[in-house]
């Protein structure tokens, strides 16, 4: 699986990039036919503490799953996105099984 990470309006450090790559790679346990994943990290110009936006788009055959979370840190946002995607991938896999039976 290819993973593309794009940081908007800032430069993501190596630790953040490797943390996110590790988390996204873990999705393959839930669905092994993932084509690629795109991660967008954005800092919203606001006075609020929760100004970090993490958006993860996972491409699977015939569909794409997108999750967007706004949190205090990119790590927290990435973890929430991945948790949500795990559930979506499991549902997607169930639907696939249902049509193949």
Each residue's pLDDT expressed in tens, for the chain with a length of 101 residues? 999 999 998 999 999 999 999 999 999 999 999 999 999 999 998 888 899 999 999 999 999 999 999 999 999 999 999 999 999 999 999 988 886 54
In this prediction the pTM is 0.91
Task: State the Cα–Cα distance between residues 27 and 94, nearest whole angstrom.
Answer: 15
Q: Does domain 2-100 have CATH number 3.30.160.100?
A: yes
């Amino acid at each position: 699986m290819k993973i593309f990470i794009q940081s908007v309006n800032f430069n993501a450090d190596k630790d953040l990039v490797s943390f996110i790559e590790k988390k996204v790679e873990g999705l393959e346990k839930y669905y092994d036919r993932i084509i690629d994943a795109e991660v967008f990290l954005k800092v919203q110009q606001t006075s609020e503490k929760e100004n970090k936006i993490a958006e993860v788009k996972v491409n699977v055959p015939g569909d794409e799953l997108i999750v967007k979370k706004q949190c205090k840190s990119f790590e927290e946002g990435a973890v929430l996105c991945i948790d949500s995607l795990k559930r979506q991938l499991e549902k997607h896999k169930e639907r696939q099984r249902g049509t193949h039976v």
